[in-house]
A = this chain, B = another copy of it.
Amino acid sequence: MDITLAALAGRWTPLVLREFLRRGQATYSELSAALPALSDKVLSDRLAQLTGAGVIERHRTPGWPPRVRYTLTPQGRALEPVVRSMWEWGTTQRQDTHGQSPDPSNTF
């Protein structure tokens, strides 16, 4: 649990992870564009966190300008059931607490 929480915890982590689960891969600038409010430092932090957790992999392509591609690993894809179960619990929680109707699109 601590390992999984460490992989998912932190501000922006769910949103960054969502981008990867949607795209399978992304570049630094793509993520920066998709999440404009996310500062450079924190984006670097999150990419390092997810890389260290084995969720994504860093691929440098040589040449200029430098281009780095982050790809979802098999272990990152294995996170999908975890994300879904968390999404489902949080959704019923919000309904119970605020009395809202369910949203059929489960894209966390």
Contacts and interface: CB of A to CB of B under 8 A. Distances in A.
Contacts of A4: 86-87, 89-90, 93
A2 B89 CA distance: 11
Q: Is the interface of A mostly helix, strand, loop or mixed?
A: helix
Interface size bracket, A side: 20 to 34
Contact of A82 (B2, B7, B86): B86
A80 to B, nearest CB: 10
A93 B50 CA distance: 12
Given A9-B9, A85-B81, A85-B82, A1 B93 contact: no
Contacts of A79: 89
Contacts of A87: 1, 4
A43 interface: no
A94 to B, nearest CB: 6
Interface of A: 1-5, 7-9, 14, 53-54, 75, 78-79, 81-83, 85-87, 89-90, 92-94, 96-97, 108
